[in-house]
Amino acid sequence: MERQALYAAPSGRQAQTAPHPTLASVAADGAVFDALYIRRPRRWLAGILLAYLVAACLFATKTPPWQAPDEPAHYNYIAHIAAGYGLPQLQMGDFDKAYMDRLLRSRFAPELSIQKLRYESYQPPLYYLLATPIFWLTGGDLIALRLFGVFIGMGTILLVYRCLALVFPGKHLLSVGATAFTALLPMHVAMSAAVNNDGLAELLLMASMLVLLTWMKVEYQAREPAALQGQERRLLLLGILLGMGLLTKIYAYLFTPMALVVIVAVLRLWRRVGPKPSWRALLKPLAQVAVPAVVLGLPFWIRNLLLYGFWDVLGLQRHDQVVVGQARTGEWIAYHGWVAYGERAFGFTFKSFWGVFGWMGVFMDDRVYTALLLFSGVIFMGVLWATVRLISGGPDTDMDRFQVGVLILFGLFLLAVGLGYLGYNLKFVQHQGRYFFWGLLPISTVVALGWREVLQPLQGVITGFLAAVLAGGLALMGYLNGDIDGWTVLSISLIALGLLLQPLLLAGTHRLLVIRWLPQSIQAWWNRPAVATALGALRCLAWSLPFLFLWALDLLAPYLYIVPQLSG
């Protein structure tokens, strides 16, 4: 889309007779709408990667040693391999709750050894094997191992962008927005800059998703057999990536069955070349994925069976026996009650998703969480608008059948993430938002989709009006009660004002109805090149504000919260 097509001012009789697009048609023309905000997505991607690199390196270097969740235990796993002892075995005594509490109280005083913390020894070995050469080259330097995680995180960010650019070509607000959210989410940056196997698990799952989405798109677009060339290789590659994931973290064990179900559904519902495959014919593509995955995982499973006993393929039963003293859900509820448990579950999960640092003990200012909660509310409204348009179909929606199918897949992905989180918390009290990060691809897509939706003129104005009503109601109730929450009212008011005014940033682009009643002279002023350029810059700034806020938190958190509270 050329600049002239977007910004050319109407002139003469042609301009007077040209029909004005409706707000619905403007919203449905997704590629044009996104181009009003982002023209060169790869430049944005480069900027996002640079911003992530700065923030992640800051976390890696400023976070005091061992002040990241389970970092000493992950480090000891690598050290065990580097010392030539092979893979470690999880044993009783590897989790000493009293000693851990002492370490935390002393802020990991240098005279206290971390070698007793070996409770991650049941984890699959791939990350630790890859990190061992770095341990050798640097003499076990903690910062070097953290920077290895930062490097892995860059790969994950690139894969998020590639996945969404594949599914939503031209919809840059989705691909770039989701990438920015993944890259700049403070807690995710902090975990990427720590020693753990989460980052590699995310990388492999993102790579698996890219292969699966590519395979799905070919199946959807194919109209003749020649178009299906390479599909078997893609399934084999998917199986290899899933097998590597099985050797990295338990998340892959939740994702793999979902991938197999998607393959069956696509072949039965989408394939348009030849007859619909029979259930027996489906065994071949399923085997092309399952066999490589099983072959890669089998040696590790056999080892665990020999070490930990029959059926304990992943060492989870041994883990439950070892972590004596870790809070159990049933005991916690019996002591504190369901109400306290519910408050902790929702409140702590929300805060720790955005950022609770150290060993889940370093919180940001409450006003930060309030702002993030309000942003989440805006995203929720945007997702509602997007869902309504999606259900309405054309011309209200700008999603094709393939994109709708991917969104359904993302919904299943989110369901798997939620069930995994719920299942873990049925046993232990682990309300840590970081356990959602293996689902950041669908989560970040939801965030980008919701934010994109409230930038649409009509949806944004209605959402802004509702926010203004909420701000007024809170202010009135606070006044009557003599206790006005000024920060919350101010934050909601600013959000409402921004959403109510944001359609003006689109003036001169689609001849929106919002300015049709203005005199021709004023409309012509909107279409001046200088004004159009300024509005374009303001649009970029308006869209970027949430991500700039997250980046500011990334840069400030080490200095405002982590170092003051965790340094010895």
- How far apart are the C-alpha atoms of 159 and 53, rounded to whole Å? 16
Q: For residue 397, what pLDDT is reported? A: 77
* pLDDT of 519 above 80: no
**pLDDT grade for 246, boundaries at 50, 70 and 90:** very high
Termini Cα distance of the chain = 57
Which of the residue ranges 10-14, 156-160, 508-512 would you say has the lowest mean pLDDT? 10-14
Question: Domains of the chain: which residue ranges?
Answer: 198-322
The answer on pLDDT for 532 being more than 90 is no
Residue labelled with tokens 């356990």: 435
Q: Residue 51: which of 165, 185, 149, 160 has the closest Cα?
A: 185
Q: Which two tokens stand for residue 74?
A: 């992950």
The percent of residues in the chain predicted with pLDDT above 90, rounded, is 75
pLDDT band at 395 (very low <50, low <70, confident <90, very high): low
- Average pLDDT of the residues in 247-270: 94
Mean pLDDT of 63-70: 97
Average pLDDT over residues 346-374: 96
Q: Residues 414-454: pLDDT tens digits?
A: 999 999 999 999 999 999 999 999 999 999 999 999 999 99
Cα distances (angstroms) measured from residue 408 to each of 162, 252, 281, 412, 441? 19, 19, 25, 6, 13
Mean pLDDT of the chain, nearest integer:
90
Model pLDDT, residue 518:
64
| Per-residue confidence (pLDDT) for residue 487, from 0 to 100 | 92
Please report, to the nearest 10 degrees, the dihedral formed by the alpha carbons of residues 511, 513, 515, 520 taken in order: 60
Contacts of residue 251, defined as CB under 8 A and 6 or more positions apart, other chains included, come to: 201, 205, 245, 420, 438
H/E stretch holding 290: helix 283-308
Backbone angles phi, psi at 131, to 5 degrees: -80, -15
Reference 356, options 433, 425, 417, 421; nearest CA is: 433
* DSSP per residue, 70-137: THHHHHHHHHHHHTT--S----TTS--HHHHHHHHHTTS-TTS--TT--TTTTS-SHHHHHHHHHHHH
Question: Whole-model pTM?
Answer: 0.92
pLDDT above 70 (res 8):
no
Q: How far is CA 374 from CA 370, 433, 471, 491, 492, in A?
A: 6, 18, 11, 8, 7
Count, residues in the chain: 568
Residue 399: alpha-carbon gap to chain centroid: 21
For residue 509, the model assigns a pLDDT of: 66
Work out the average pLDDT over 185-203: 98
Question: What local confidence, expressed as pLDDT, does residue 30 receive?
Answer: 59
Statement: residue 22 has pLDDT above 60 = no
Average of per-residue pLDDT across 385-409:
85
Residue 2, pLDDT score = 34
Kindly report the CA angle at 390 between 385 and 395, in degrees rounded to 5?
A: 105
Better-scored residue on pLDDT, 248 or 517? 248
Q: Who contacts 247 (Cβ-Cβ below 8 Å, separation ≥6)?
A: 124, 125, 126, 296, 297, 300
